[in-house]
Amino acid sequence: MARVLIVGAGPTGSLCAALLRRELPQRPLRIVLWDKARGAGGRMTTSRSPHNPRCTADLGAQYITLRPAYALKHQSFYEDLLAHGVLKPLTAPVEGMVMEEGSHNFVTPQGISSIVKHYLTESAGADVFYEHHVTQIYLRGGKWEVCKKTGSPEQFDIVVLTIPVPQILQLQGDIVNKSSEFGPSVVVHTSVPFGTAHLEWDKEKVQPIILDHLENIMPGLPKPTSIKCQKWRYSQVTKAIPSCPGQMTLHIKPLLVCGGDGFTHSNFDGDEVPIKCAAYPKSGATRNKQPVPVKGRKKRVLERIQVDIQMYISHVTRFVIS
Ligand SMILES: Cc1cc2nc3c(=O)[nH]c(=O)nc-3n(C[C@H](O)[C@H](O)[C@H](O)COP(=O)(O)OP(=O)(O)OC[C@H]3O[C@@H](n4cnc5c(N)ncnc54)[C@H](O)[C@@H]3O)c2cc1C
């Protein structure tokens, strides 16, 4: 039976465990959660008074906001939490609260950690261990060996880290070697209209615009140690050559074949290698099936390629920060 370790029993870890159970009911998985804290919740933690356990306070997250962008995608999660009484619409006015139009706020009558506890219950049979502080992770014989502050290391087939990124970066072992060697990097792809509009601009002028925008959407991003700005002049095919799935034969003897995404479409499975075509001249039977380009046709074909290549306008500026 495959052993899955989820590190962190906050909302992400607990939901991950519940979804693994829900989505893979037939799969024999042993799901284990380890958290360094003494209880579940993470930053969605609820503290209880030592004098009266019914007196609680949410120390981290206070309420949950459903934004219009996620309304449809996450609807079933909210319906489930509302049906189980974990969430309740926030009706009390909150001084100074700015509400995005179409968003809804919810509170948790039994404390914010009840969301996490709900998902832990839904993860039916997952083994949750507290005071298990992960310190090192090693790759040993095709499995992950995970060490904690106390106790012996254990082996798992899959490890899911749901701990905050600065804490991931503190982990030692095989994952730290990789990250210190290569460092984390961020790739920013601009939109197609942006790339098209700035195609002829100097990279030095485009770079600060992209960096400014990045700073706005990710204000806490650490200062980059290096930046590489790449302009893809021929990035995506906007109009593939028609009637030539996968390849185009320009000449039979000697064989001259064109292939690539221009003859299909721009993604990995579109990058066909024209193998069929390369094999063709060896077999007479196949040769008869292949349209033989005549002189006039060959000329038209070449003209067509030239015209269509004009349409491969560059439109993605790729930007790597490391
Ligand atoms: C003060 C505050 C107010 C907030 N207000 C709101 C709010 O009103 N609404 C809202 O939606 N969100 C709010 N948030 C954000 C919200 O709490 C987080 O987005 C959410 O908890 C993230 O969940 P997570 O499971 O990814 O991480 P976490 O909740 O941080 O869970 C990670 C878990 O990993 C464990 N862990 C860390 N390192 C290790 C290790 N080495 N080994 C084992 N376990 C480890 C931690 O103990 C923790 O339990 C607030 C957060 C804070 C701090």
Residue 105 Cβ contacting ligand 1 at under 6 Å: no
Residue 58, ligand 1, Cβ within 6 A: no
Tokens 């390849």 appear where? 247
CA distance 269 to 261: 9
Residue nearest to atom 49 of ligand 1 (CA): 42
Atom of ligand 1 nearest to the CA of 34: 43
Ligand 1 in reach of 164 Cβ (< 6 A): yes
Q: How far is the CA of 10 from the centre of ligand 1 (A)?
A: 6
Q: Where are the alpha helices (DSSP H) in 163-202?
A: 165-170, 174-182, 192-197
10-residue block means of pLDDT along the chain (322 residues)? 92 93 88 96 90 85 90 93 97 86 93 96 94 94 93 94 87 68 67 81 86 82 76 69 67 66 54 32 31 43 33 41 46
Q: Is 45 in the pocket of ligand 1 (CB under 6 A)?
A: no
Spatial distance between the Cα atoms of 276 and 208, rounded to a whole number of angstroms:
47
The verdict on the CB of residue 63 being under 6 Å from ligand 1 is: yes
Q: Which has the closest alpha carbon to 30: 127, 173, 104, 133?
A: 127
Q: Alpha-carbon distance 16 to 162, whole Å? A: 9
Instruction: Report yes or no: 247 and 240 within 8 Å, Cβ to Cβ.
Output: no
Bond before 254 cis per omega within 30 degrees: yes
Q: Please tell me the pTM assigned to this model.
A: 0.63
Residue with tokens 């028609």: 242
